[in-house]
Amino acid sequence: MSRAATPLTAVLSGQRAFITGGASGLGLAFCQLLARDGWHLGLLDRDAARLASVASELTTLGAKAVQSYVADVTDEAAFTAAINDFAARAGGLELMINNAGVAVAGDLVDTPAADWRWALEINVVGVAIGCRAALPHLKRAEAACVLNIASAAAFASAASMSTYNASKAAVVALTETLAQELEDTQVHAAVAMPGFFPTRLLDAARAPAGPLASARRLMTSSSYSAPEAAADMLSACAARRLYIVLPKSYVRLWLLKRFWPRGFMALLTRTRRRALARRRSAP
């Protein structure tokens, strides 16, 4: 018997999942792993062309069935209708992954209020809508999980990233609250706080050239990958972990922030000063 692609397959026996931002990056990596174990998948994304291509790929990989939905997570009616349609077609829902998100960078005084509203609507309100729509179906399953994708930016609040940092910190708070509300149910809530790894997150980012270039360098230089992140997150869900911080190098930062916040802030200050010095000395 072949080994399962993820231990979550054995934990959530119904094997029906809905993933936002499923047409690329981390969302697609989730779908590929679950497809190999024969899950019934629902994908929501704004890119209709990529969704069509991905659906064919996932079927080839072994997905039981694939339903694709072209919608924005801020459109409550369309998003909710997509989840309800998928649950009806699949006969239920065990795993909801709120993965869709956007990035904004730049100093606080330079970031327009419109960019704040854009990021918060997608990164926070979109996650809340997904949770609200999925929970009635998840609560009918024998065992279920809702996984919200935040970022290490939620605790490593680097300068020139206030909008993104705040939005991802809100996802952590939202999930902590949800975990308490689900305490007496069979639905497990988890929040992932990954560090940088290559995805298409920055393709639509709103940011000045300097901060955007810095973010791209961090992303492209990472030795961690979206498939690795997806596998680690699903394994953590199987273990019923609430906080999922990865890769391992970021766990040390997470612990430092929790147990010695002043030391952590001093580290951020030193790191920023070194970066500014390198930038000034560059030809």
Q: Where in the sequence numbering do the catalytic residues fall?
A: 164
- Laid out side by side, the sheet with 65-70 consists of 65-70, 40-45, 16-20, 95-98, 144-149, 187-194, 243-246
Q: Count of CB atoms within 10 A of residue 53's CB? A: 12
Q: What is the 3-state secondary structure (H, E, C) of the chain?
A: CCCCCCCHHHHCCCCEEEEECCCCHHHHHHHHHHHHCCCEEEEEECCHHHHHHHHHHHHHHCCCEEEEEECCCCCHHHHHHHHHHHHHHHCCCCEEEECCCCCECECHHHCCHHHHHHHHHHHHHHHHHHHHHHHHHHCCCCCEEEEEECCHHHCCCCCCEHHHHHHHHHHHHHHHHHHHHCCCCCEEEEEEEECCCCCCHHHHCECCHHHHHHHHHHHHHCCCCHHHHHHHHHHHHHCCCCEEEECHHHHHHHHHHHHCHHHHHHHHHHHHHHHHHHHHHCC
CB 104 within 8 A of CB 111: yes
CB 78 within 8 A of CB 71: yes
